[in-house]
Amino acid sequence: MIAAFKTGLKVVGVLLLLLVLVACAQMYRNSGTDPLPPARDGALRVATYNVHYISARRQTGAWSLADWERRRDPLDAAFKHIAADLVAFQEMESHSGREADQDNLTLDFLLTRNPGYAAAAAGDPVEFPSTQPILYRTERLQMTDQGWFFFSTTPDIIYSRTFDGSYPAFASWAAFTDRATGAAFRAVNLHTDYASADNRLQSTALVAERIAPWIAAGETVLVLGDFNARLGAPTLERVEEVGITFAPVEGATYHFNRGLNLFGAIDHIGWSEGVRPVSEPTVIRQRFLGEWPTDHYPYLIDLALP
């Protein structure tokens, strides 16, 4: 009996060691910050960045108002560091339990600190869900249109619950003209359900349905956001089927707010035919001002538009 018990302990010990080794291997494989690519004439730098919501009803603790005070300057430093022409944000909200919250501390802060940028895919939250804005450099881009649709059986009803009745999730979009080149394009910004694979599949199927007519009409379409899925997953395949190519990003884009890079990228950037990448997909895996601004890394790529 004692011998069997000791054998069992050894087996458990070996299994735990194997798990630790696997975790370490994954950390190594998915880590390492990418160098920021040099700016290229005519290229458009686009990025996606999940900045985690602020829990406005909590004074202290993780993601609270006090925590926002800690991470707001590092977030601004990250935004300035990537120096993108367009950034699609997810979870940019001050959540108080009401869908149509008027306050957006993160959006207001970044716009105040960065007067060369404006917010697209945003508006009065009673009429336009403003938690997935697209910030753009006004010297480079002119916004010409914007809209949204919810991942729901009633996608054009604001704050509709998702297909299985869970929290509302949606895609925001904005149309732009590039002042430097005259190129016109639409940027679609999405964030799918992290918990439900079925919700993710139905959500990206709806994205594909909505963008397919734009692509068929010859428009240039960019798709950016937090897919909560890795390259090769059916979630992304739904969008690829209508003509979107996703950048071959490697390593982690989500790190548990701890710098733990346990699995591959779940944030993605894709484009329709005619767009040409002129830099490698770049994930900035580092602290800013000694802090993690959020639980995702900023991810960017430089594109030449047709």
Sign of CA dihedral 56, 57, 58, 63: negative
* Residue 116 lies inside a defined structural domain of this protein: yes
* Residue 20 lies inside a defined structural domain of this protein: no
* Residue 9 lies inside a defined structural domain of this protein: no
H helices of 194-303, in order, are 197-216, 234-240
* Residue 16 lies inside a defined structural domain of this protein: no
Sign of CA dihedral 282, 283, 287, 288: positive
Digit-coded pLDDT (tens) for 116-143? 999 999 999 999 999 999 999 999 999 9
The pLDDT of residue 13 is 41
pLDDT (average), residues 23-30: 45
The pair of structure tokens assigned to 252 is 């982690």
Query: What CA–CA distances, in Å, run from 163 to 160, 204, 235, 287?
Result: 9, 12, 15, 36
The answer, yes or no, to whether residue 5 has pLDDT greater than 50, is: no
Digit-coded pLDDT (tens) for 241-259? 999 999 999 999 999 999 9
Cα distance from N-terminal residue to C-terminal residue, the chain: 73
The pLDDT of residue 31 is 62
Q: How many domains does the structure of the chain reveal? A: 1
User: Helix or strand or coil: residue 87?
Assistant: strand
Domain that holds residue 64: 31-304
Q: Which of 227, 143, 155 is nearest to 187 (CA)?
A: 143
Confidence of residue 102 (pLDDT cuts 50, 70, 90): confident
The pair of structure tokens assigned to 91 is 């979870």
- Strand order of the sheet with strand 221-226? 141-150, 170-178, 184-191, 221-226, 267-271, 245-246
* Residue 153 lies inside a defined structural domain of this protein: yes
The pLDDT of residue 114 is 98
The pLDDT of residue 188 is 99
* Residue 286 lies inside a defined structural domain of this protein: yes
CATH code where residue 231 lies: 3.60.10.10
Digit-coded pLDDT (tens) for 10-26? 444 433 333 333 343 45
- pTM of this structure: 0.91
* Least confident piece of the model among 100-109, 138-147, 187-196: 100-109
The pLDDT of residue 11 is 41
Quote the Cα angle for 220-224-227, to 5°: 135
Confidence of residue 96 (pLDDT cuts 50, 70, 90): confident
Mean pLDDT of the chain: 91
Query: What CA–CA distances, in Å, run from 260 to 5, 101, 255, 257, 286?
Result: 34, 32, 5, 8, 11
Instruction: Kindly provide the b/e burial profile for residues 249-277, where b requires at least 16 CB atoms within 10 angstroms of the residue's own CB.
Output: bbbbbbbeeeebbbebbbbbbbbbeebeb
* Residue 281 lies inside a defined structural domain of this protein: yes
* Residue 14 lies inside a defined structural domain of this protein: no
Eight-state DSSP code of residue 182: -
